[in-house]
A and B are shown apart, each in its own frame.
Chain A
Amino acid sequence: MYRDKYFFLLPGLVVLIAIIIFPLLFTIRVSFSSWDVFQPGLDYIGGRNFARVFEDTRFWESLLRLSVLSVSSVLLQYVIGFALALAVWREIRFRRFFRVLFLVPMMTTPVVMSVIWRTIFHESLGPANDILQAIGLGTVPWLSTGTAAFISVLIVEVWQWTPFMFLLLLAGLVSLPREPYLAAAIDGAGPIRTFLQVTFPLMAPITIGAIIIRLIEASKIMETVYVMTSGGPGTATETSSYYIYIRGLRDFQIGYSAALSLTYLVIMIISLTIIAKVLARMLLPREG
């Protein structure tokens, strides 16, 4: 009789195997093959693809670039998102309007928004340079020099995903207990002290969750790079996911791109675990 209960797990198990386990196992199998445009199918070549990954400086450079991009964009998203959440958390006029307004960027399609931003940053026709010129600041080579292109991609990322951070942090703020604030008020704490000693510590678990979720998402950045810069100028904005896309779907090196994907996956799991632990140690109160 007790065995029957396992049948109820079956649908969930089948879905789990179909959408997570099977693709992962298949990717692992493909990564040990030389499946390429000229060599279809699953032969076995041992760890040659992985050996090639370790010699592929372009991949490691793209990973380093991705790290800088995702960490800096998520930090900016966190700071701005927290500030906006604090602003509408309080009783201000048109609070509901602002809450919806701040969510608009997140609700738009990344590819479409990347096209719009590419037009905004267009150095001949786009409004960004027109505005800068109108206020006497001169023009910026938004997408045609390495550093500026990197910053442009960063700006779009921050613009697009700050609302997500805002949403999570606002939900956290709304759910905070009132008692610590009453106690702080009785103790005569000002707004800054209240924030530093009450709000921020109470928000720590949500902060860690929000940052980790966003880091996972930010590390998959693809559409913005694809549309705005194609990884250029040179390789200045090439991220790991864009590089894997080029190797897998443009060059059709299926076996090699599977090895790249798995390497990337392992690195992401390790680094995000470390980041989560470090954040927890820094932000959460120590027990005992």
Chain B
Amino acid sequence: MKRTQMALLLSSSIALASQGALAQGDYSRFGIKEDIPGTCSYANIDKKDYTGKTLNIITHAIPVMGEPTALHAKQFSELTGAEVNVVHVPFGDLFQRIMIPFQTGQNAYDVMFYGSLWIGDLNPFLEPVPEFYRNSTGMQDVTPNYIGVASWGDQMVQYPVDGDRHYLKYRTDVFDNPEMQAKYKEATGKDLRVPQTWEEYNEVAAFFTNWDWDGDGETNYGSAEVVKRDDLMFSAFISRVAPFAKHPDVKGGFFFDLETMTPLVNTPGWVRGLELFVEAQKTFPPGGNNFGLGDEIFSFGGGQTLMSYSWDDAYIQAMQPDSRIRDKVAAAPLPGSYEVWNRETGQWDKFDEPNRAPYITWGWTSAVSKNSKVKDVAFDFLCFFSNEANTLSDLQIGRFGVNPYRKSHFTLDLWQDKLGWSEKSAQTYIDTLSGMDLSKNRVFDLRVPGVNQFMSALAVGVSEALAGQKTPQEALDGVAEQWTAIVDRIGKDTVRAAYANVVALEDNLQ
């Protein structure tokens, strides 16, 4: 009897203890499915007590990056007792709102979320990521591309929270449709395939423009692109130019010749890219040459256009559960070129396979201010923000703007099993994104002081060519002139020293 009582007592004690443990480890009230063990898991952050400490954060407007910041700030506050204030700012104002306090020596924000391309301007004000966080489970899983993006020279000064790149998105219900293939063959004499070059992209887009190829009663178009001036158009243009101007065997600079700091923006490779960009306008939907990123997302993601290229958003939009084109889209590397300008020989080099130059375009990143008085809290917050459970959850919400940047994000089971994507949509997405990480001919952003000045000048020049105000050559000559003036103002050595970091990434020296 006593033995039975003891057994009952023991088993009930075990049951109670396990219940307690379960209650302690259950963080589903925070909106995640379950906590995932890791350096900054919910359980580990829950152990910290930052009561009485205040963390000030500046981030983008809701929803893109602003919404996850607000959400994780609230969670962090509840777990640690810290007071967390989040300021949301539109993208156009974000840079100056971060920069002015830095330049005037104020300690306005402990944590900043911003575009990773500003590292050239902001790096003197950023606290390097401590070794503890560089060795965290989350950081160990980040792909080399985004470790590179977060680093300035040999120091990691940005905390990776997002992975961005440009790639091609296309409609599989058209490309895989025998009827469409036959129509295309009949009209052009060529096989319909996913474009391998930008010339082919324009050809395919032109054929599928101005008729209802998906049978929904609405006219469809060939291409949706980000073309609106000052609305990230410079990124779209760089995607189009890269394979013509980034020669795999010519090192020492894509934007500038690192040695002389002469702008390369008006060399024949760049001009060719712009000529094709101008030509592509006839394949845009009405108003397409004023499309900003939002328009591009809804044009492709809403099923209006056959192809598109930019960040992940349009693809994620197309793959939303309620999308009428869910599982009718696939991803592919950006088109390439059989001819690449060789600035050393001053000639076009021909290739048997199209030259590809993946553009690891800027994305969201985060950092801690050197002036912060609560750096420990700030880094814990960023570590928590990007912990395994939060990232897994954030990746699934298109409007959050969090895209794959860890090795574990490139697994089929995440996209196919957890999100229910079709095998083709998931597999092409993973292959395209992870393939870019392996490329040895990548193009990175111009991460130098004054990057906004360079990109603003580029956007205006490209826009003038697109509007027909100038020829592509004239427009890019004008850009080169302005870039030279900017380099002179900033100082050739200063820009060169910064640009060397970009070239090191592009030439695979880091």
Determine which of A234, A246, A249, A251 lies in contact with B464 in the assembled complex, contact meaning CB atoms within 8 Å: A234
Return chain A residues, CB-CB under 8 Å to B121. Answer: 37-38, 252
B71 within 8 A of A: no
* Least distance between A141 CB and chain B CB atoms (Å): 7
Q: Which residues of B lie under 8 Å from residue A232 when comparing CB positions?
A: 228-230, 290, 463, 467
Pick from B289, B450, B456, B489: contact of A233, CB below 8 A: B289
Contact (Cβ within 8 A) A143 B456 = no
B16 at the A interface (CB under 8 A): no
Q: Is B195 an interface residue (CB 8 A)?
A: no
Interface check A239, CB cutoff 8 A: no
Q: Mark A229-257 against chain B: 1 for CB-CB distance below 8 A, else 0.
A: 11111111000000000100111110000
Question: Which segment, of A121-129, A154-162, A276-284, faces chain B?
Answer: A121-129
- Stretch from B91-99, B208-216, B311-319, B416-424 forming part of the interface with A: B91-99
With A38-B121, A230-B230, A233-B467 in contact, do A253 and B453 touch (Cβ < 8 Å)?
Answer: yes
CB neighbours of A37 from chain B (8 A): 99, 121, 449-450, 452-453
Residues in A25-49 with C-beta less than 8 Å from chain B? 34, 36-38, 40-41
Report the Cα distance A58→B456, complex, angstroms. 13
Tell me whether B285 and A246 are in contact (CB under 8 A).
no
How many A-B residue contacts, CB cutoff 8 Å?
112
Q: Distance in Å from the Cβ of A51 to the closest Cβ of chain B? A: 13
B427-468 to A contact mask, C-beta < 8 Å, 1/0: 000000000000000000000011011001000100110111
| B235 interface residue per 8 A CB criterion | no
Query: Judging by beta carbons under 8 Å apart, are B290 and A144 in contact?
Result: yes
Tell me, yes or no, whether A271 is within 8 Å of chain B by CB: no
Size range of the interface on A? 35 or more
Question: Would you call B450 and A38 a contact (CB within 8 A)?
Answer: yes
Write out, one digit per residue, whether chain A residues 82-109 have a CB within 8 A of any chain B CB (1) or not (0): 0000000000000000000000000000
Q: How far is the CA of A36 from the CA of B290 in the complex (A)?
A: 30
Question: Which of A36, A58, A146, A250 lies in contact with B489, CB distance below 8 A?
Answer: A36
Within 133-148 of A, Cβ neighbours of B (below 8 Å) are at 139, 141-146
Residues of A contacting B288 with CB < 8 Å? 123-124, 144
With known contacts A40-B103, A231-B229, A252–B96 Cβ distance under 8 A: yes
Given A230-B229, A230-B231, A251-B456; A124-B95 close (CB under 8 Å): no
Cα(A144)–Cα(B285), bound, Å: 11
Q: Does B304 contact A (CB under 8 A)?
A: yes
Q: Does A149 contact B (CB under 8 A)?
A: yes
A121, A144, A246: which contacts B230 (Cβ < 8 A)? A246
Q: Which residues of B contact A142 (CB under 8 A)?
A: 287
Q: Is B286 interfacial (CB-CB < 8 Å)?
A: yes
Q: Which residues of B contact A34 (CB under 8 A)?
A: 489
B112: shortest Cβ distance to chain A, in Å?
Answer: 15
Q: Say yes or no: B96 contacts A249, CB within 8 Å.
A: yes
Query: Are B464 and A235 in contact, with the CB atoms below 8 A?
Result: yes
CB neighbours (8 Å) of B292 from chain A are 230
Pick the residue among B92, B93, B490 that contacts A38 (CB under 8 A).
B490
Please indicate the chain B residues that have their CB under 8 angstroms from the CB of A139 in the complex: 286
Which B residues are CB-close (under 8 A) to A252?
Answer: 95-96, 99, 121, 450, 452-453
Binding site secondary structure of chain B = helix
A22 → chain B closest CB, angstroms: 16
The reply to whether the CB of B469 lies closer than 8 angstroms to some CB of chain A is yes
List residues of chain B with CB within 8 A of the CB of A231.
Answer: 229-230
Which size class do B's interface residues fall under?
35 or more
Nearest neighbor of A142 in chain B, beta-carbon distance: B287
CB nearest neighbor in A for B99:
A252
Are the CB atoms of B467 and A234 closer together than 8 Å?
yes
Chain A residues within 8 Å of B449, by CB = 37-38
Question: Do A141 and B287 touch across chains, with their CB atoms under 8 A apart?
Answer: yes
- B452 and A122 contacting across the interface, CB-CB below 8 Å: no
Q: How far is the CA of A123 from the CA of B295 in the complex (A)?
A: 11
Contact B286 A123 (CB under 8 A): yes
Contacts A37-B453, A41-B103, A235-B460; A249 near B229 (Cβ below 8 A) = no
B287 contact from A144, A146, A226, A246, Cβ within 8 A: A144
Q: Across the interface, which residues of A come within 8 angstroms of B287, CB to CB?
A: 121-124, 141-144
- Chain A residue with Cβ nearest B448: A38
CA distance A235 to B290 in the complex (A): 12
- Taking CB atoms, residues of chain A closer than 8 Å to B95 are 249-250, 252
**Inside 8 A of A250's CB, which chain B residues have their CB?**
92, 95-96, 230, 452, 456
Residues of chain A with a CB closer than 8 A to B463's CB: 232-235
Which of B104, B290, B450 lies in contact with A149, CB distance below 8 A? Answer: B290
Bound Cα distance from A256 to B460, whole angstroms:
18
Residues of B within 8 A of A229 (CB): 228-229, 290
Fill in one digit per residue for B73-100: 1 if any A CB lies within 8 Å of its CB, else 0. 0000000000000000000110110010
Structural contact, B467 and A124, CB atoms closer than 8 A: no
| Nearest B residue to A149, CB-CB | B290
Q: How far is the CA of A216 from the CA of B124 in the complex (A)?
A: 41
CA distance A37 to B466 in the complex (A): 29
- In the assembled complex, B107 has its CB within 8 A of some CB on chain A: no
What sequence of 0s and 1s flags, for each residue 458-492 of chain B, a beta carbon within 8 Å of any chain A beta carbon? 00100110111110000000000000000001110
Minimal beta-carbon separation of B79 from chain A (angstroms): 36
Chain A interface residues toward B at CB < 8 A: 34, 36-38, 40-41, 58, 121-124, 129, 139, 141-146, 149, 226, 229-236, 246, 249-253
A sample of 19 more A-B contacts (CB under 8 A), given A37-B99, A232-B229, is: A36-B490, A37-B450, A58-B460, A122-B287, A123-B287, A139-B286, A142-B287, A144-B288, A149-B290, A229-B229, A230-B229, A233-B466, A234-B463, A234-B468, A235-B463, A249-B96, A250-B96, A250-B452, A252-B452
Show 22 A/B contacts (Cβ-Cβ < 8 Å), sorted by A: A36-B490, A37-B452, A37-B453, A38-B450, A38-B494, A40-B103, A41-B103, A122-B287, A122-B295, A123-B286, A124-B287, A139-B286, A141-B287, A142-B287, A143-B290, A144-B288, A144-B290, A232-B229, A232-B290, A234-B229, A246-B230, A252-B453
**9 shortest interchain CB distances as A-B pairs:** A123-B287, A234-B467, A123-B286, A40-B103, A233-B467, A232-B229, A230-B230, A38-B449, A234-B464
